[in-house]
């Protein structure tokens, strides 16, 4: 419920600044999900007024970049803790791999 309220709170900002952005730009902007939680970004960013391509670009950017660093997804945090993987160890593999995957998916999707 809190994420729904967060999305409603960000609606004026999304309507004013994000709705008019090109979907290809939205894809790359969402690499920020490597350091921020995907669920929070999704709730704050997606609007029913967006085109299908904008929503697809946002979601794909969030999904792929979310795996690049530990804070990007809750499962990353749990996995790293259970496997005793440090942020540096995760980043050494996650960032290069994620960057390549982001580029490949960008070419395929757009």
- Interval 48-81: pLDDT, tens: 899 999 999 999 998 898 888 888 778 888 999 9
Q: How many CB atoms lie within 10 A of CB 102?
A: 20
Using pLDDT thresholds of 50, 70 and 90, give the confidence band for residue 99.
Answer: very high
Q: Is 86 helix (H, G, I), strand (E, B) or coil?
A: coil
The span from the CA of 90 to the CA of 67, in Å, is 9
Q: How far is CA 102 from CA 9, 10, 92, in A?
A: 29, 26, 16
**Residue 85 contacts by C-beta under 8 Å, 6 or more apart in sequence?**
70, 79
Determine the average pLDDT of the residues in 11-39: 89
Per-residue pLDDT, 76: 86
pTM: 0.84
Per-residue pLDDT, 5: 87
Tell me 47's DSSP state. -
Contact 30, 62 (CB under 8 A): yes
């Amino acid at each position: 419920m809190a994420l729904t309220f967060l999305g409603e709170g960000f609606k004026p900002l999304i309507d004013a600044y994000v709705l008019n952005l090109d979907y290809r730009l939205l894809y790359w902007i969402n690499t920020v999900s490597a350091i921020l939680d995907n669920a929070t970004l999704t709730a704050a960013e997606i609007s029913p007024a967006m085109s299908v391509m904008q929503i697809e670009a946002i979601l794909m950017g969030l999904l792929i970049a979310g795996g690049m660093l530990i804070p990007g997804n809750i499962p990353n945090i749990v996995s790293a803790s259970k496997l005793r993987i440090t942020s540096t160890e995760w980043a050494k593999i996650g960032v290069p791999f994620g960057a390549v995957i982001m580029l490949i998916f960008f070419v395929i999707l757009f």
